[in-house]
Amino acid sequence: MAATLAVDTTSDDVSLTACTAAPADCSLRGAIAAANVLAGADAIEFNIPTSDPGCSAVTGICRIEVASSLSISEGLTIDGYTQPGAQPNSIPAPGANNAQLKIEITSAGFVNLGVALFSLQNSNAGPFNLRGLAIALPTSAIVTGGLRHDHRGNWFCVDALGQSPEFNLPCNAFTLTGFNRTIRVGGPDPADRNVIAGGGRDLNGQPGGGTNRLRVNSIVSERGSILLQGNLIGLGPDGVSSLPLRDPFIIQTGDDGFDTPDIQILDNRFARAPGNFSGGFGGALQFSVSRTMTETALIQGNVFGLGVDGSVLGVEKDHIEVFLGNSSRVPRLLIGGLGAGEGNTFAGALRQSFTGLSLGSAVILPFGNVNTFVEFVGNRMLGNQGIGLDFPTATAGGGGVVGRTPNDPGDPDAGANLQQNHPKISAYSVNGSQFELTYRVDSDPANSAYPLRVDFYKALGDEGELLLDSDVYASANAQQDKAVTLMIPPGVSLTNDDVIVAIATDADGRSSEFSFDTLSLSATDLPDPHPAGLPFTVEVTALATSGPFKPNGVVDVSLNTSPAVTCSLTLAPTPIANTSSGSCQLIPTQTGIRTLTITYRTLQGAFGSAAGQDVVITQSHEVTVAGPEQIGFSRCRQNALEGETARIRIERPSGGVANVSVDFTHMPGTATPGDDYTVPADQMLQWAPGDIAAKIIDVPIASDGLPEPTERFRVNLGNVMGAAVLPFGQLDVEIIDGQTDQRFANGFEGPECLP
């Protein structure tokens, strides 16, 4: 018969197994030892008095310091929420976690390599359930072994204060890689939410352990299952702070010949802060396939790279990687969905350039001669450096090339998702609550499973920010233009200047990459020639050469000085059809005939070359010798009305290639310092090469409301270094009483400077 054992001490003494009403006779280790000799599944609860030496009277948190592994040989539930003062989370997914955990299991000296905290010894050690525990210690796994797991409302590799302690070795939460039948981590209720991080340091001494693997197998009489739902992974309980986590969360399908396990990854929030691990690690989620899947796994309602407050935390590397044990393995995945709440949000994925195979995309598929069924629909893309769904293309040397995959005529190519061709849109307009467009998918029915579903998204850069509507492209339409009228979702703003991108998905669940169009660039750079040290403007015009849209995205401009001078611009639509433009300024510091390189970044806009690459043009620009270095006031007298602020400008009208400094000082006049005006501070003003911006000093003028003559004070420029003081080194500020407006229309008070 199942027993309930109540832990009443933070001691780690294995001999404390009595677990009676007597005080301090039941340690966690002792309760587990007692449960191991009892038949059936038992429960361990907590009732540790705050007077215990391991408890804090201030926080109520009781810390159990374990010296070694805890072996489990029978089914067991360990429930930390039974400790007085503990409360489960009440915030719905995918929000933060406001749980109050009062039982913390930790040990700075825990033996790490190859040793788990909870080590399930056999198939009888199940089900194994953890509730309401904060567990943070250096260990190869908090949980390993067994057949059946159900873990809800815990903080893994996170202490009871919500921090991830820095041990010398990493903290890994789950190593469930055996022949498990069912694994549940989290669930649909707020109280189910776990917080999962990776404390400590990796073998290179960099912050961030954190390896998690969930693997199940089916048998003849039972289909295996994994449910990963509602958790915070890589974030603190506040849902905003990034916690160390090196590896992606790995889901493995098992490799048996029985039914494909039921795998659902729902409503989690993932983050992987850049730079908190070393090597080529990173990413949020890896779906690892070692079998031919006959059923579809679900990845729905998750948020990648965003805090609960909407802040971009990011994920270094791609958000989701689909990994195959070998090229004969076949994955089936639905990432997103058309139902409410089924779409995922992917934000802030970052390119990991040294790996060569990571652009920072939402999902990356395997390259080579592989057979995949990955459907990508209804997801929201927000500022990822890569693309949405990425089909890497195999190279002759056995490697792969990431990035956009151009369409091929008729779509006979093979590879991930059969490299399904994306739709091409040729006409587009908005009409009230509807939008009309004409599109075509160049896929021969012999090469794609018809009918196709075509999903249309409002673009943000190169990605689909928001699903607008979908259409069915039947075999009767194959490789022909189709005109459709579709609905704009309620509350969505859509104009003729917006860009639409689309994905085609075949009847077997193979999605294409997002569509893109092509463009050409032209630019003017004026004035040309132009002196060094002064700004000139580069205006770029982008003309769409395919599709009906005005190009969006970002253009980078570079001038080949040493170091290079650069600026960036965002394209904005113009009144001209298919045309956008933008401008930015460069300030060169070296003379000669230079080369301007103007680059449209295809991964930041829905356009590119025909091959899906950046579009680049170059042209010359002559930089002439700079004029003389000058610093000064542009006038020698200016006025200010009582109650206003005198804005004093010190300008750099010429030069711009040297380090320049000048002392700014104040001199009293007929106006009373402190009463009539606030005295400006004496100070040194400095300009670096290329800095030509004016320095502004604001002087508040007092108002007494009394008629009085004009009063004045003076400011001077002196001790100049690297420049001449021109045109003026002295400025008299004249205060007008405000009863009558005595200011000159041209801004000068008098025909000449004062002595």
Task: Please give the residue that has the higher pLDDT: either 67 or 81.
Answer: 81
Give a yes or no: residue 546 inside a domain. yes
Contacts of 737 (CB under 8 A, 6+ apart): 642, 706, 707, 708, 709, 710
- The pTM of the full predicted model, rounded to 2 decimals, is 0.86
Residue 514, phi then psi, degrees to nearest 5: -65, 145
Say whether both 499 and 523 belong to one domain: no
Distance CA(78)–CA(42), nearest Å, equals 9
Among the listed residues 83, 77, 73, 213, the one whose alpha carbon sits nearest the alpha carbon of residue 152: 77
Give a yes or no: residue 474 inside a domain. yes
Q: For residue 692, name the pLDDT band (cuts at 50, 70, 90).
A: confident
Say whether both 598 and 671 belong to one domain: no
Q: pLDDT tens for residues 24-36?
A: 999 999 999 999 9
Give a yes or no: residue 547 inside a domain. yes
Q: Which domain holds residue 616?
A: 518-624
Residue 749: pLDDT above 70? no
Q: What is the average per-residue pLDDT within 519-526?
A: 96
Max avg pLDDT among 166-175, 388-397, 546-555: 546-555
Sign of CA dihedral 47, 53, 56, 62: negative
Lowest mean pLDDT among 268-277, 312-321, 438-447: 268-277
Alpha-helix runs per DSSP H in 59-202: none
Residue 668, phi then psi, degrees to nearest 5: -65, 155
Q: What is the mean pLDDT of the chain?
A: 91
Say whether both 590 and 544 belong to one domain: yes
Q: CA of 497: how far to CAs of 471, 494, 542, 574, in Å?
A: 22, 8, 14, 9
Residue 395: pLDDT above 80? no
Say whether both 567 and 610 belong to one domain: yes
In the numeric block, which tokens belong to residue 251? 């889901």
Q: pLDDT tens for residues 588-630?
A: 888 999 999 999 999 999 999 999 999 999 999 999 988 888 9
Residue 363: pLDDT above 90? yes
| pLDDT of the residue at 245 | 85
Query: What's the CATH number where 635 sits?
Result: 2.60.40.2030
Contacts of 681 (CB under 8 A, 6+ apart): 666
Among the candidates 601, 624, 647, a domain finishes at 624
Q: What is the average per-residue pLDDT within 439-463?
A: 97
Q: What is the average per-residue pLDDT within 41-66?
A: 96
Among the listed residues 329, 328, 304, 438, the one whose alpha carbon sits nearest the alpha carbon of residue 384: 304
Place of tokens 């001691």: 11
In the numeric block, which tokens belong to residue 671? 């106006």
Query: What's the CATH number where 615 sits?
Result: 2.60.40.1940
Q: pLDDT tens for residues 75-134?
A: 999 999 999 999 999 999 888 999 999 999 998 777 656 689 999 988 888 899 999 999
Distance CA(219)–CA(223), nearest Å, equals 6
Q: For residue 206, name the pLDDT band (cuts at 50, 70, 90).
A: low
* HEC per residue, 704-748: CCCCCCCEEEEEEEEEEECCEECCECEEEEEEECCCCCCCCCCCC
Among the candidates 590, 624, 658, a domain finishes at 624
| pLDDT of the residue at 119 | 92
In the numeric block, which tokens belong to residue 219? 């048998």
Give a yes or no: residue 559 inside a domain. yes
What SS3 class is residue 38?
A: coil
Q: For residue 689, name the pLDDT band (cuts at 50, 70, 90).
A: confident
Residue 232: pLDDT above 90? yes
Q: What is the average per-residue pLDDT within 319-338?
A: 94
Give a yes or no: residue 472 inside a domain. yes
Question: End-to-end CA distance of the chain, in Å?
Answer: 105
Say whether both 618 and 646 belong to one domain: no
Residues 294-307: b if buried by 16+ CB within 10 A, e if exposed: eebbbbbbbbbbbb
What SS3 class is residue 40?
A: coil
In the numeric block, which tokens belong to residue 38? 């009892």
Say whether both 579 and 651 belong to one domain: no
DSSP structural state of residue 577:
T
| Cα radius of gyration rounded to whole Å, the chain | 34
For residues 5 and 18, the answer to whether their CB atoms sit within 8 Å is no
Q: pLDDT tens for residues 181-194?
A: 999 999 999 999 99
Q: For residue 279, name the pLDDT band (cuts at 50, 70, 90).
A: low
Lowest mean pLDDT among 191-205, 280-294, 405-419, 684-698: 191-205
| pLDDT of the residue at 456 | 99
Residue 233: pLDDT above 80? yes
Q: For residue 747, name the pLDDT band (cuts at 50, 70, 90).
A: very low
Distance CA(739)–CA(643), nearest Å, equals 12
* HEC per residue, 476-537: HHCCCCEEEEEECCCCCCCCCCCCEEEEEECCCCCECCCCCEEEEEEEEEECCCEECCCCEE
Q: For residue 334, name the pLDDT band (cuts at 50, 70, 90).
A: very high
Give a yes or no: residue 400 inside a domain. no
The β-bridge relationship of strands 349-350 and 517-526 is unpaired
Residue 751: pLDDT above 70? no
Say whether both 728 and 643 belong to one domain: yes
How big is the CA angle at 583 (ends 578 and 589), to the nearest 5 degrees? 150
Give a yes or no: residue 450 inside a domain. yes
DSSP structural state of residue 419:
G
Q: What is the average per-residue pLDDT within 216-239?
A: 94
Say whether both 702 and 636 belong to one domain: yes
In the numeric block, which tokens belong to residue 179? 């022949």
Task: Please give the residue that has the higher pLDDT: either 531 or 111.
Answer: 531
Residue 740: pLDDT above 60? no
Q: What is the average per-residue pLDDT within 249-264?
A: 92
Say whether both 464 and 482 belong to one domain: yes
**Per the structure, how many domains does the chain have?**
3
How big is the CA angle at 70 (ends 65 and 74), to the nearest 5 degrees? 140
Query: What's the CATH number where 430 sits?
Result: 2.60.40
For residues 14 and 66, the answer to whether their CB atoms sit within 8 Å is no
Lowest mean pLDDT among 352-356, 617-621, 642-646: 352-356
Among the candidates 624, 649, 681, a domain finishes at 624
Give a yes or no: residue 58 inside a domain. no
Distance CA(411)–CA(143), nearest Å, equals 47
How big is the CA angle at 575 (ends 570 and 580), to the nearest 5 degrees? 25
Q: For residue 529, name the pLDDT band (cuts at 50, 70, 90).
A: very high
Say whether both 686 and 590 belong to one domain: no
